[in-house]
């Protein structure tokens, strides 16, 4: 036996993520006591139609989110209680709808910060229909061994520590949520645990009151004593005292009332729950509540700490008088153990999981990202630059100062090449079509390939091959290329030639050879090749892709990383073009007819389909 919630309770949760978290906790309890899932449906219009994954032990359940309570009930007519988690501005409407459902007798509101007027109206509405509106600001309701509504009881371990897997003899009613958990623990530690525990919330006008629940406990034969935790403000505790003192009650009453400190505080200084406010002329003071309860025969210790002894005393008395028969303690080892997640088991070294991917460059599991072991902020602090990060992430090495300078120049020189080239033009067309930055830049990026910017990798690769296989035999290398590859990547330019050299190439070659001590076998080789090819044709010069590729090979970057430099550098330019077009509010463009040769068939009639 129990009050409010039991094995047959089936709940709908109205609200978003807080409700989902509660449902997960509730399912842990369902697993502990081996009952079916308590939460049968969610109502949350923004996520209508979604399924939420809820584990009951190791069993995965999918619980549907509905757009309305009506729809949730239509598919789940077994629902008989509602938990309101939705925000304060919608809480009233949601609770009222739930109270309107014939089969729902209990509505518990977890939502905090609900206007008093709404809470008062809901209380009245529920009373008129003979239903219970519990809350707002309730942590929930717990019936040991049977049902958990809300996160009351905390983590799984605590459910066991508080003996919540089987009924005891104590009822609990509190205003505070945290203290409901504390009280359940005290009943388990000093007695045999609880039958049911209810948190009514600390607002000024809770939807229910102590008396309602005391009466329920009085009618529940399994409950032998009740722990009430109240506080200054309102008159619910006085009403409880009045109820308890009115006639001989079967249940023993133990109480603790918070707020006696307010007697000695500077005048007007009040704190605690919204409802913890003393009225005029001392009405609702903690002291008056304590006195009323003591006069009515309740056991009220001096401080909260004294509750332990009080509960123990009542428990021993009830045992001595035979009201409570001691039950053999359950062996905790027989209780189910919550299946751990893979991460937890791995931490304990009890399972081996083959990793799905492997990384060798970076790790953000600590306080900040580390690149090949170096903390990003430390690199910044010690004067390293973006070139060094490239060196680390692309080649797992910190470049020297001289190498960094070269990398920097390669990127600076390749960052943009005007609007006419394929990449920039692609981004510009996309920008003009109103496409967002990442997609427009990707449009330009798509152009990078064998004919545009994508020759760096192959140039580096083949010149490196030449250095190795044909060190002193340029004609042999060119011959091999002709037979196996085709035109030499990195050689040749559409407009530039020996007489009209590419300024960028000249600068890079000059910088690397004259201003650094960098050893450049690959670049030297390519320049030798150029001598041979330009002798054949004026424009078969070493182009910028070839130059960059060779230098990067000389800097010991892996061949397949080389196009990355062009991609990275040109991204800067493409983003620039996108921003530029947006700044100008550029309009959609299309090709003029005169730029197109319409080499198409004459107009003609469509034949009948045969």
Partner 1 sequence: MAKILEGPAMKLFNKWGIPVPNYVVIMDPDRLAQLGEANKWLRESKLVVKAHEAIGGRFKLGLVKLGLNLDEAFAAAKEMIGREIGTSVVRQVIVAEMLDHDEEYYLSIAGNRDGSELLLSNKGGVDIEENWDTVKRLFIPLDETPTIERITESALEAGFTGEIAERVAKIASRLILCFDNEDAQSIEINPLVIRKSDMRFAALDAVMNVDWDARFRHADWDFKPVSEIGRPFTEAEQQIMDIDARIKGSVKLVEVPGGDIALLTAGGGASVFYSDAVVARGGSIANYAEYSGDPPDWAVEALTETICRLPNIRHIIVGGAIANFTDVKATFNGIINGFRESKSKGYLENVKIWVRRGGPNENQGLAAMKKLQEEGFDIHVYDRSMPMTDIVDLALNS
Total number of residues binding partner 1 (CB under 8 A)? 68
Q: Tell me which of 46, 221, 305, 383 binds partner 1, using CB under 8 A.
A: 305
Binder of partner 1 out of 30, 97, 146, 182 (CB under 8 A): 182
Q: Is 189 in the site for partner 1 (CB under 8 A)?
A: yes
Q: Which is nearer to partner 1, 267 or 583 (CB)?
A: 267
| Sheet bearing 147-150, strands edge to edge | 147-150, 140-143, 194-199, 170-174, 225-231, 252-258
Alpha-carbon span 421 to 432, nearest angstrom:
16
Q: What are the residues whose beta carbons fall under 8 Å from the beta carbon of 270, sequence distance 6 or more?
A: 262, 276, 277, 278
501 touches partner 1 (CB under 8 A): no
Q: Does residue 260 belong to the site contacting partner 1 (CB under 8 A)? A: yes
> Is the Cβ–Cβ distance between 425 and 445 less than 8 Å?
no
Alpha carbon separation from 566 to 393, 422, 426, 545, 548 (Å, rounded)? 16, 14, 16, 8, 9
Binding part of the chain for partner 1, among 101-109, 305-313, 474-482, 483-491 by CB under 8 A, reads 305-313
Euclidean distance between CA atoms 439 and 126, whole angstroms:
55
Q: Which of 434, 463, 414 is nearest to 567 (CA)?
A: 414
Interface segment toward partner 1; rule CB under 8 A; list 274-282, 324-332, 527-535, 549-557: 274-282
User: Which residues have a Cβ under 8 Å from the Cβ of 12 and sit 6 or more positions away?
Assistant: 39, 40, 41, 42, 43, 69, 72, 73, 76, 79, 81, 82, 83, 98
Q: How far apart, in whole angstroms, are the C-alpha atoms of residue 588 and residue 430?
A: 9
The answer to whether 185 contacts partner 1 (rule: CB under 8 A) is yes
**Which window, 241-249, 264-272, 372-380, 599-607, contacts partner 1 (CB under 8 A)?**
264-272
Question: Is residue 273 close enough to count as binding partner 1 by CB under 8 A?
Answer: yes
Query: What residues from 207 to 236 belong to the interface with partner 1 (CB under 8 A)?
Result: 229, 231-232, 234
Helix, strand or coil for residue 81?
Answer: strand
Q: Which is nearer to partner 1, 114 or 411 (CB)?
A: 114
Q: Binding of partner 1 at residue 423 (CB under 8 A)?
A: no
Q: Which of 67, 96, 105, 161 binds partner 1 (CB under 8 A)?
A: 161
DSSP-based three-state secondary structure for 398: coil
Q: Which of 102, 247, 248, 269 binds partner 1 (CB under 8 A)?
A: 269
Q: DSSP letter at 283?
A: T
Annotated active-site residue 519? The verdict is no
Per-residue binder mask for partner 1 (CB under 8 A), 307-346, x = binder: xx--------------------------------------
Query: Which two three-digit tokens encode residue 384?
Result: 């390293």
Closest distance of CB 195 from partner 1, Å:
19
Q: Is 115 in the site for partner 1 (CB under 8 A)?
A: yes
Question: 3-state DSSP call for residue 52?
Answer: strand
Q: In what order do the strands lie in the sheet with 132-134?
A: 51-56, 59-66, 39-43, 11-14, 81-84, 106-109, 132-134
In the region spanning residues 25 to 84, those forming contacts with partner 1, defined by CB under 8 A, are 25
For residues 76 and 40, is the Cβ–Cβ distance under 8 A?
Answer: yes
Stretch that binds partner 1, among 53-61, 253-261, 361-369, 592-600 (CB under 8 A): 253-261
Among 36, 77, 103, 113, binds partner 1 (CB under 8 A): 113
Q: How far is the CB of 160 from partner 1 (least distance, A)?
A: 13
Write the CB contacts of 471 (distance below 8 Å, at least 6 apart in sequence). Answer: 525
| Catalytic site positions | 273
* Residues in contact with partner 1 by the rule CB under 8 A: 21, 25, 88-89, 112-118, 120-121, 123-124, 139, 151-155, 158, 161, 174-182, 185, 189, 202, 204-205, 229, 231-232, 234, 256, 258-261, 263-274, 276-277, 286, 302-308
């Amino acid at each position: 036996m129990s009050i409010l919630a039991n094995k047959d309770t089936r709940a709908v949760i109205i609200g978003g993520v807080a409700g989902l978290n509660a449902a997960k906790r509730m399912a842990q309890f369902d697993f502990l006591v081996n009952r079916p899932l308590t939460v049968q449906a969610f109502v949350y219009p923004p996520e209508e139609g979604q399924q939420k994954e809820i584990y009951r032990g190791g069993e995965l359940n999918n619980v549907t989110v509905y757009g309305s309570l009506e729809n949730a009930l239509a598919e789940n007519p077994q629902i008989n209680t509602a938990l309101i988690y939705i925000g304060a501005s919608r809480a009233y409407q949601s609770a009222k709808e739930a109270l309107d459902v014939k089969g729902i007798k209990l509505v518990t509101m977890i939502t905090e910060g609900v206007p008093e007027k709404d809470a008062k109206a809901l209380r009245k509405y529920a009373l008129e229909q003979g239903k219970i509106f519990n809350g707002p600001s309730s942590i929930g309701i717990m019936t040991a061994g049977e049902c958990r509504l809300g996160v009351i009881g905390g983590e799984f371990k605590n459910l066991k520590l508080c003996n919540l897997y089987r009924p005891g003899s104590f009822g609990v009613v509190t205003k505070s949520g945290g203290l409901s958990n504390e009280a359940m623990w005290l009943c388990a530690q000093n007695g045999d645990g609880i039958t049911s525990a209810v948190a009514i919330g600390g607002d000024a006008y809770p939807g229910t009151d102590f008396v309602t629940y005391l009466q329920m406990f009085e009618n529940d034969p399994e409950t032998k004593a009740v722990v009430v935790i109240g506080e200054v403000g309102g008159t619910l505790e006085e009403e409880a005292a009045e109820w308890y003192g009115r006639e001989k009650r079967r249940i023993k009453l133990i109480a603790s009332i918070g707020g006696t400190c307010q007697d000695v505080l500077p005048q007007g200084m009040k704190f605690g729950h919204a409802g913890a406010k003393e009225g005029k002329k001392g009405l609702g003071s903690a002291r008056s509540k304590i006195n009323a309860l003591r006069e009515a025969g309740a056991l009220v210790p001096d401080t909260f700490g004294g509750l332990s002894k009080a509960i123990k005393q009542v428990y021993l008395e009830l045992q001595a008088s035979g009201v409570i028969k001691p039950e053999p303690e359950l062996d905790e080892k027989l209780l189910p153990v919550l299946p751990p997640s893979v991460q937890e088991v791995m931490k304990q070294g009890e399972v081996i999981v083959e990793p799905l991917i492997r990384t060798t460059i970076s790790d953000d599991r600590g306080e900040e990202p580390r690149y090949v072991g170096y903390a990003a902020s430390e690199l910044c602090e010690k004067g390293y630059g973006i070139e060094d990060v490239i060196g680390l992430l692309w080649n797992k090495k910190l470049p020297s100062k001289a190498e960094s300078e070269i990398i920097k120049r390669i990127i600076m020189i390749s960052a943009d090449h005007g609007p006419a080239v394929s990449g920039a033009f692609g981004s510009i067309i996309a920008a003009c079509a109103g496409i967002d930055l990442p997609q427009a830049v990707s449009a330009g990026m798509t152009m990078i390939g064998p004919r545009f910017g994508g020759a760096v990798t192959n140039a580096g690769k083949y010149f490196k091959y030449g250095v190795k296989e044909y060190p002193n035999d340029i004609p042999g290398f060119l011959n091999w290329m002709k037979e196996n590859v085709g035109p030499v990547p990195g050689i040749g330019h559409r407009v530039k030639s020996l007489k009209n050299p590419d300024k960028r190439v000249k600068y890079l070659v000059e910088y690397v050879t004259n201003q650094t001590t960098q050893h450049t076998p690959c670049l030297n080789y390519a320049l030798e090749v150029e001598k041979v090819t330009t002798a054949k044709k004026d424009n078969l010069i070493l182009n910028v892709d070839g130059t960059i590729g060779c230098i990067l090979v000389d800097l010991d970057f892996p061949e397949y990383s080389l196009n990355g430099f062009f991609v990275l550098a040109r991204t800067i330019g493409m983003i620039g073009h996108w921003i530029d077009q947006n700044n100008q509010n550029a309009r959609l463009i299309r090709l003029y007819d005169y730029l197109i040769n319409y080499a198409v068939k004459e107009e003609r009639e469509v034949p009948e389909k045969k």
